[in-house]
Structure 1
Amino acid sequence: MPPSFQTIPNPADAPPYAIIVMGVSGSGKSTLGAELARHLRCDFLEGDDFHSADSVAKMRSGHPLDDQDRWPWLDRIAAGLHDAALMDGTAVAACSALKRAYRDRLADAVGMPLLFVFLDTKDSGELARRLVHRADHYMPASLLASQLDTLEELGPDERAVTLDAEEAPDRLCAEALAWIGREMSGTAETAGDARRRS
């Protein structure tokens, strides 16, 4: 069983903070993000819901987004996280956050400590399989290669942990909660040391 929300510092005893589960499409961001939010008893924000209608139409037609599409999207996610975390002490969002510049933008805009949980996998075939079998989603599997090309590795100075996206969801949740608890207690390793070796 994953640890309960009680393993995380009580929001009443700590400043508010936010969490983003990041990675390419098909990595399981939404599944893990929703489960983390359930254990933390806070809001979960689905990053896909913050895209503009134009961006959704662009992706649906098979065209990748560019930075001009993404900057306002990132700002909307950050604003949503900020407001939700002020209410509950923390909040969780699923967001690809592929580039370092995107993560820096989110960290600056959210206005409070921001932690990244990166779901990583080297198996592009498994990612493509998940996307093909995902129902009612506007992003076609054909855009996966573009996302993998855009993805930038975490820097050692980022407040982040890398987990293996192919692990069982309950194990991922347990590992993420344990790391978040250490990080918010000031004892977590930096991203460069905390990455799990595959």
Structure 2
Amino acid sequence: MQHLVVMGVAGSGKTTVAVLLAERLGWTFAEADDFHPEANVALMAAGTPLTDEDRAPWLTSIADWLAQRDAEGVSTVITCSALRRAYRDVLRTGGGRVRFVHLAGDPQVIAVRMAARTDHFMPPSLLPSQLATLEPLEDDEDGVVVPIGTPPEQVVDEALRALGLAAAH
């Protein structure tokens, strides 16, 4: 089974792109934000960046979810910031082939997107800490970097092309 982790900083379009990828591939979708414990959501909503200690149970729960889907024979698409190599290493323990789709773009564009959101707990004030934490995919990591400057459908087209995947329909 394959598991795509759509990664990047807040406001990069992870959910929009991941939903479209899951629809095109016919794979199961999950939103990593739903795996956060309430304490993490409260910290972020208050403008407090998470520590590695805060993130550890969250990342483990995502990896466990991936392992369960893998055992069921289900390929997935999940969002997750996956900002550091160490975080991605945890996600890779989920089983199957875990691949990353890093959505990358201009921080100013991302900040404008974040400021326009009204339905998300992550405030724009945390973008600088996310950008400082971000470690780009390394050559030995299974993944692709996709620019976000085009409409979401084109971002998905580019991701599928770069991954060598064909849409289910």
TM-score interval, smaller chain: over 0.9
What residue in structure 1 maps to residue 151 of structure 2?
168
* Cα-to-partner distance string for 1:19-49 (whole Å, 9 max, x where unaligned): 1000000000100000010011121110111
Quote the RMSD (CA, aligned, Å). 1.5
1:114 aligns to what? 98
- For the pair 1:153 / 2:145, whether they are aligned, the reply is no
For 1:60-139, list aligned pairs within 5 A: 60-87=45-72, 89-108=74-93, 110-121=94-105, 123-139=106-122
Give the TM-score of the pair, scaled to structure 2: 0.93
**Could you tell me how far apart the structure 2 residues matched to 1:167 and 1:116 are?**
19
Offset of residue 177 of structure 1? 1.5
Structure-2 separation of matches of 1:54 and 1:100:
24
Q: Any residues of structure 2 matched to 1:33-48 within 5 Å, and which?
A: 33-48=18-33
Matches within 5 A, 1:45-64: 45-64=30-49
Question: Larger Cα Rg: Structure 1 or Structure 2?
Answer: 1
Look up the SS of the partner of 1:114 in the other structure.
strand
Which sections of structure 1, spanning at least 5 residues, go unmatched?
1-15, 183-198
Q: Quick check: 1:143 aligned with 2:114?
A: no
CA deviation string 1:50-102 (max 9, x = no partner): 10000000111110000001111011111222323444531000000000111
The amino acid of 1:167's aligned partner reads T
Write the distance in 2 (CA, Å) between the matches of 1:40 and 1:79: 22
Give the SS at the match of 1:127: helix
Q: Secondary structure of 1:163's match?
A: strand
d(CA) in 2 for partners of 1:82 and 1:134? Answer: 32
In structure 2, relative to structure 1, the CA distance for the partners of 1:66 and 1:140 (3 Å cut) is: same
Could you say what secondary structure the match of 1:161 adopts? Answer: strand
The one-letter code matched in structure 2 to 1:22 is M
Give the direction of change, closer, same or farther, for the CA distance of 1:101–1:66 in structure 2 (3 Å limit): same
1:181 aligned residue: 164
Counterpart AA for 1:34: V
Once the two structures are TM-superposed, the CA of residue 117 in structure 1 deviates from its matched residue by 0.4
Q: Tell me by how many angstroms 1:178 deviates.
A: 2.1
Q: Which has the higher contact order (CA 8 A, sep 6+)?
A: 2
Runs of 4+ in 1 over 6 A off after TM superposition: none
Question: In structure 2, do the counterparts of structure 1 residues 38 and 86 end up closer, same or farther at CA, with 3 Å as the change threshold?
Answer: farther
The alpha-carbon deviation at position 126 of structure 1 amounts to: 1.0
Provide TM-score, normalisation by structure 1.
0.80
d(CA) in 1 for partners of 2:134, 2:144: 15
Contact 1:84/1:91 (<8 A) preserved: yes
AA aligned to 1:145 is P
Amino-acid identity (%): 45
